């Protein structure tokens, strides 16, 4: 996009009293530069919502949905799913150990 960009977001930890969960929402705006406008691009608007939860102590799952206005001024929807895993074991010590 161009030089003028704005972004705002909010996060709600422990929604509805549920531990290890998070709800979030964000909105964005980006102004296209003169060159990008000459190539058919317009200013960009978008929003994202996600819910992060922890089914196990070692994993997080984050489903999300994004809404973006494309260059044809149509609304596009992108659905996503992120996962992360945590391992508390020190593997370097386990690999080189004589035990």
What confidence tens digit (pLDDT) does each residue in 56-81 have?
Answer: 888 999 999 999 987 777 899 999 99
Other residues' Cβ atoms within 10 Å of the Cβ of residue 98: 3
What percent of the chain has a predicted confidence (pLDDT) above 70? 81
CB contact at 8 A, 52 and 59: no
Is the entire prediction scored with pTM above 0.75? no
Q: Residue 39's closest CA among 71, 69, 70?
A: 71
Using alpha carbons only, how large is the chain's radius of gyration in Å? 20
Other residues' Cβ atoms within 10 Å of the Cβ of residue 69: 15
pLDDT tier, 83 (very low <50, low <70, confident <90, very high otherwise): very high
Distances from the Cα of 75 to the Cα of 14, 58, 68, angstroms:
31, 36, 6
Instruction: Give the pLDDT score at 96.
Output: 52
CB contact at 8 A, 52 and 62: yes
């Amino acid at each position: 996009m161009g030089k003028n960009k704005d972004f705002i977001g909010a996060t709600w930890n422990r929604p509805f009293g549920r531990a290890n969960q998070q709800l979030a929402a964000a909105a964005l705006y980006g102004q296209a530069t003169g060159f990008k406008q000459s190539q058919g691009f317009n200013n960009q608007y978008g929003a994202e919502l996600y819910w992060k939860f922890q089914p196990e102590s070692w994993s997080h799952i984050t489903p999300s949905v994004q809404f973006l206005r494309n260059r044809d001024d149509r609304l596009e929807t992108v659905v996503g799913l992120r996962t992360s895993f945590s391992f508390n074991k020190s593997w370097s010590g386990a690999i080189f150990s004589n035990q």
